Amino acid sequence: MNLDKQQAQELIDFIHESPSTYHAVNNIREELNEAGFQELDLREEWTLEKGGKYFTTKNGSALFAFVIGKGEIEEEGFQLICAHSDAPGFKIKPNPEIAVEGNYLKLNTEVYGGPILRTWMDRPLSIAGRVSVKSNDPLNPEHLYVKIDRPLMVIPNLAIHMNREVNEGGALNKQKDMLPLLAMITDEMEKDNCLVNLMAEELKIDAEAIIDFDINLFEVEKGCILGLNEEFISAPKLDDLAMSHAGLKALLASGESKKTRMLAIFDNEEVGSLTKQGAGSPVLRHLLQRIVFKLGKDMEAFHRAVYNSFMISADMAHAVHPNGTEKHDPTNRPYINKGPVIKIHANQKYTTDGDSGTVFETLCKNAEVPYQKFVNRSDLVGGSTLGNVSTGQVDIRTVDIGNPMFAMHSVRETGGVKDNVYIRKVFTSFFGL
Ligand SMILES: [Zn+2]
């Protein structure tokens, strides 16, 4: 297998093993552990030293990994790449079992973020996430991760004969049309506790021990490489596990440097980032402060470090769509496999400006990687991302970038094999400065 395909396959494998934010963070955690990074607990006292490799997690769904530079932190600053662990989809509601006419058992769900609803229909789905169980300390329940590794449910479409307008773009009701079918009801079934029983069985614990859960649906089918020349990656959640994965690989590949390098993977980007583990919280600022103080420096040094820092806010971007070429800006036309995309917005939903854009362009040139630019059509409203939210908490020079892709927020997204290689190269050279 050539390098391009091998790296694409690594990404596909990572995504497949990461059906929830908790699993994504845990998989990154394991790779960092293997690479000799030391895990730090936010609640414990830390001892840090120059050249040391560390990471910490928050809520099990956000992760911050850093390598402390050999130079003076107030002069060298931080080199940051941030991305997010979450993706739009469906969360299971409490008391989820709904019996239909004594025959079908379906589950009640709530939409998380902004998925393209129709793409979730007729797909084998399963569940993954975090289960909270009784412990001796009422303030600190134990958390277990669960992932049911088999097709478990489906959200069936209505037949076209019962919904003749289906191809005319009829709306789907989130409460009525999108509930997954889990089983045919049988006499032996304890249907009111079906889901908790299933998770307890999977975890080999007592069902009564499960107090609460944060569980989401996921698509069971693994991603793949496709295209005549095997040039595309088809997978769930490229937004934003592709950037999280590339950032991790770059951090692992980085050698000694004067600069302190950090990979920040936030949760809850898809719902506005204003959670304790999101980019809108003070978590990153607190961490940067803590690192500076633990190196024996003061507040003045922290401020100097911040103003000597640079952040790459890495979230995916929209490639010109083969069936929707008119949806893009007339003069900025990003395509798949033509390199990472610098995202620009006059009203600053993206943080990029001439200064930070130039930094990223220079990084690409030095890494011999092509790059492209994205600007919304002036009559279309685009999305937002991590950069501008994060700079509200800590005012670091930031550029918003991401790899080009199709079908953002579909259950199955499409990106480029070459773009995955390019972004890893650019991130690696950034962390190698
Ligand atoms: Zn995203």
Q: What is the pLDDT of residues 193-249, one digit of tens each?
A: 899 999 999 999 999 999 999 999 999 999 999 999 999 999 999 999 999 999 999
The set of residues, in sequence order, having a beta carbon less than 8 Å from that of 332 and lying 6+ positions away, is 344, 372, 373, 374, 375
List C-alpha distances in Å: 80 to 86, 268, 377, 402, 426.
Answer: 19, 19, 29, 15, 13
Q: What is the pLDDT of residue 187?
A: 87
Mean of per-residue pLDDT scores for the chain? 96
Q: What is the pLDDT of residue 407?
A: 98
Q: What is the pLDDT of residue 188?
A: 85
CB 96 within 8 A of CB 107: yes
Distance 61 CA to ligand 1 centre (A): 15
Distance 337 CA to ligand 1 centre (A): 19
Residue 191 has pLDDT above 80, yes or no: no
Q: What is the pLDDT of residue 68?
A: 97
At residue 348 the predicted structure's pLDDT band, cuts being 50, 70 and 90, is confident
Distance 352 CA to ligand 1 centre (A): 16
Express each pLDDT in 238-252 by its tens digit.
999 999 999 999 999
At residue 382 the predicted structure's pLDDT band, cuts being 50, 70 and 90, is confident
Cross-strand pairs, 374: 343
Express each pLDDT in 11-66 by its tens digit.
999 999 999 999 999 999 999 999 999 999 999 999 999 999 999 999 999 999 99
Least confident of 21-30, 161-170, 305-314, 423-432: 161-170
Name the pTM for this structure.
0.96
Distance 270 CA to ligand 1 centre (A): 7
Residue 143 has pLDDT above 90, yes or no: yes
Mutual angle of helices 21-34 and 238-253, in 10-degree steps: 10
Q: What is the pLDDT of residue 255?
A: 86
Distance 385 CA to ligand 1 centre (A): 6
Distance 393 CA to ligand 1 centre (A): 19
Q: What is the pLDDT of residue 234?
A: 98
Distance 274 CA to ligand 1 centre (A): 15
Distance 8 CA to ligand 1 centre (A): 19
Residue 363 has pLDDT above 90, yes or no: yes
CB 396 within 8 A of CB 80: yes
List C-alpha distances in Å: 114 to 27, 131, 243, 271, 318.
Answer: 25, 24, 19, 8, 16
Give which of 261, 245, 195 is closest to 37, Cα–Cα.
261
Distance 116 CA to ligand 1 centre (A): 14
Q: What is the pLDDT of residue 402?
A: 98
Cross-strand pairs, 82: 264, 313
Distance 400 CA to ligand 1 centre (A): 11
The set of residues, in sequence order, having a beta carbon less than 8 Å from that of 186 and lying 6+ positions away, is none
Residue 150 has pLDDT above 80, yes or no: yes
What the block records as the tokens of 52 is: 């040391």
Q: What is the pLDDT of residue 204?
A: 96
